[in-house]
Amino acid sequence: MLLSAALVGCDDDGSGEAGNPIDGTDGTDEGSEGSEGGGSHFASGFEGDWSGTYQDNDFSQFAGGVSSTIEVDEANQALTFTLDFDGPILAQNDPPEETFTGSYDETSFTVSTQSVVFGPVTLTFDIDGDIDGVGAPPGFESIVFAGSGTPTAITLGYTLHDGGGVASTGSLTLARK
């Protein structure tokens, strides 16, 4: 994973106790995240507009800007985000903006849908900031995602498999606007 080693178990106060990198708690909070317990779900910290870049490490023509908007519906425990790539990605010309919707519980949110770019895709983002996922983009065997996120930055790496034994890698980085 790209940044998750730096996020999981971080010790910002020198106490030797790891806190939660997403919400900054010390891990001793007895309240519950999510709709029960009165607190906001950790996903709420990601709401807003994001922008960044993507780059295929093996095929430099597949690179460009990317923007996203993240919205959280706490009443329905749903999260929606858009992805708009400004250029070709995964052997496709500049695809249209896509909207992804998923659900969440106290520990993670998951999106499982059909994507124009990524084919059938499932992504899970957990409370520790780890992002994992798989998909099957059109014309490829599979894509595997691994990355991390905080309320100010999201980094996602991928390995794309073509089915003939060739794999390429790349990354997407987003920063809050």
The residue count for the chain: 177
Q: In this structure, what token pair is assigned to residue 15?
A: 């106490």
Helix (H, G, I), strand (E, B) or coil at 6: helix
Structure tokens at 19: 């806190």
| pLDDT for 76 | 94
Q: Which CATH architecture has domain 46-176?
A: Beta Barrel (2.40)
At 122-145, the pLDDT tens digits run: 999 999 999 999 999 999 999 999
Which of 152, 150, 143, 151 lies closest to 171, judged by CA?
Answer: 143
Are the C-beta atoms of 121 and 134 separated by less than 8 Å? yes
Residue with tokens 């999201």: 154
Residue 130: closest CA among 63, 36, 15, 42? 42
Q: Which pLDDT tens digit goes with each residue over 37-56?
A: 456 888 999 999 999 999 99
Domain residue ranges of the chain, discontinuous segments joined by +:
46-176
pLDDT number for residue 166: 87
> What value does the CA radius of gyration of the chain take, rounded to a whole number of Å?
17
In degrees rounded to 5, what are phi and psi of residue 146? -150, 135
Residue 75: what are its φ and ψ, rounded to 5°? Answer: -60, -35
pLDDT by residue (tens digit) across 76-111? 999 999 999 999 999 899 999 999 999 999 999 999
Overall average pLDDT of the 70-76 stretch: 95
CA dist 134 → 66, 81, 102, 113, 157 (Å): 20, 17, 15, 11, 12
Instruction: Specify the pLDDT at position 41.
Output: 84
